[in-house]
Amino acid sequence: MEKNIYSVDGGSSFLQSVDTRYNIRGWISSINNSNLTNDSNKNNDANDLFGMEISYQQPSVAITDEVGQTYNTKQLYDGNISAIRWKTNTQDPAQTPGERIYGFDYDIFKRFKNSYYATKSSGTWTVSAGNYNEAIDRYDANGNIGGVTKLLILELFFREKITTSFFNST
């Protein structure tokens, strides 16, 4: 399905063409593609501002952080999302937009557990790896989230771990 939006010249050309694709189960699998290229399959033009791909059972992707720890996404057939890749085109010639990824991990009850962040460079997911990782610390007996830990890394010398608790467990 395609929809053209954001015309600046009365409809002759558009800033964004939204090409939405779904898998056989009806789950959304992509909006354009995460490389913002014309691949004649997921995306039919190369000048989009945004593209995103949602992975469910696609092959594993390795995300390696700055200390060498690697998280490999898993093929999931239960409807949970394995990873989300996206790219935003700033249209600033001084900036080269990078493709980004969040890989997701779940506990044995299929509840969200961890997310792993990175930016792609030269075919690997190693740049800024771990900068925006998040983890669910615990769930209560009803399945409510009890606490979230966010890792925020800015620059090369600043690293902060932020923990938020939603209830006190006894």
* DSSP β-bridge partners for residue 159: 153
> Quick check: 37 and 49 in contact, CB under 8 A?
no
Range in 7-21, 34-48, 59-73, 92-106 with the lowest mean pLDDT: 34-48
pTM above 0.85, yes or no: no
> Residue 15 and residue 5: Cα distance in Å, rounded?
7
78-109 residue pLDDT tens: 999 999 999 887 767 777 778 899 999 999 99
SS3 110: coil
The residue among 124 and 157 whose pLDDT is bigger is 124
Q: Which sign does the torsion angle of CA 27, 55, 127, 133 carry?
A: positive
> Residue 119 and residue 69: Cα distance in Å, rounded?
15
